[in-house]
Every structure is written in structure tokens, then in C-alpha cells.
Amino acid sequence: MPTPAPLPAPTPPPDDAPLNTVDALVQLSFLVQGVLSATGAAHELSVVQLRLLGVLRDRRAGMLALGRHLGLDKSSMTGLVGRAEKRGLVRRSPSPHDGRAVLVGLTEEGRRLAEEGAEEIARRLTEATAHLGTEGRAELTRLVGTVLRGVGG
């Protein structure tokens, strides 16, 4: 697997000027988006294509559910899945429960790419948080979970 280029580090504020909550969350989102972008680019995938593969790693899903999860309308989903299908990463199949519906699932190549991408993302984000130590990472995970549950995510 090609190794993504190193990310430019976000410029932290001086130690005597700590981030406020909004700035901290925005800077963290830049870091995560950078990891996703670099990982996707290493495989010639956009971030949304990488997200599609990630969502499908452990399931097949209908187009409507995928669109809701990815925040895409029907025509955007059709194009996204069509491009992934053309690359041999996903396949569409009829739903066994609804003859009008289509399920999307990963091909072997799509699964391989999804797993490689997930491993790369995990490695890079683990490196980015290594200085927190085990307890700090556990606290970060707890706080992020609390925020996500608070907004229904």
C-alpha cells in the first residue's frame, strides 16, 4: 500500500494561550480530515469514497440508508456508487426483502482497500494521540463519545 505523504502539523497556540473549545474542535477536525484526505489520496479515493468503503466494511446497505449516513442526495449516491462499482470496489444486488431496492456491498478488492484504509487511519491517529498516553486517550475517547451522544451521533 502506498504511504500517504506526511501531514503538515496544525500550528498550535503558544502554551500560554490555550485553545477554547470551538477552536480545539475545529483544529482536531482539520487533523482528522487531513488523515482521511491523505489516506484516500494514497488510494486515489476521495474522502467520501473512503467513507463509503468504511461504512460497508461490516454490512451491505441500501442506497437510501447510505445516502442518509453520508449526507448525500439520491443522485449523488448513484454517482458515488457507480464510480466505485466501475473501479470494482462495490457491487449492487437486489434486496431480498424489497424487489425495488438495491443493496450495495464490497467486492474483495473493495474490502481489501477498506481494511488497508482503516489500518492506515488507525495508525496515523494513534500516532497523533500517542503523547496523551493510555489514560489520556481513554479520556479523549470518553469525551468524544459524550459529545457525539449529545448531538445524536
pTM over 0.85: no
Other beta carbons within 10 angstroms of residue 65's beta carbon come to 16
- Helical ranges in the chain per DSSP H: 21-42, 47-55, 63-70, 74-86, 108-129, 133-150
Order the strands of the 90-94 sheet from edge to edge. 61-62, 102-106, 90-94
Q: Which residues contact 71 (CB under 8 A, 6 or more apart)?
A: none
DSSP state of 89: S
Q: What is the pLDDT of residues 110-146, one digit of tens each?
A: 999 999 999 999 999 999 999 999 999 999 999 999 9
Residue (of 30, 81, 73) closest to 52 by Cα position: 81
Q: What is the pLDDT of residues 59-73, one digit of tens each?
A: 999 999 999 999 999
Residue for cell digits 500560554? 16
What is the Cα 37 distance to its own chain's centre? 9
Q: What is the pLDDT of residues 41-96, one digit of tens each?
A: 999 999 999 999 999 999 999 999 999 999 999 999 999 999 999 999 999 999 88
Domains for the chain: give ranges and CATH numbers: 32-150 (1.10.10.10)
- As a whole number of angstroms, the distance between CA 152 and CA 56 comes to 21
AA identity, residue 120 = E
| Beta bridge partners of residue 88, listed in sequence order | none
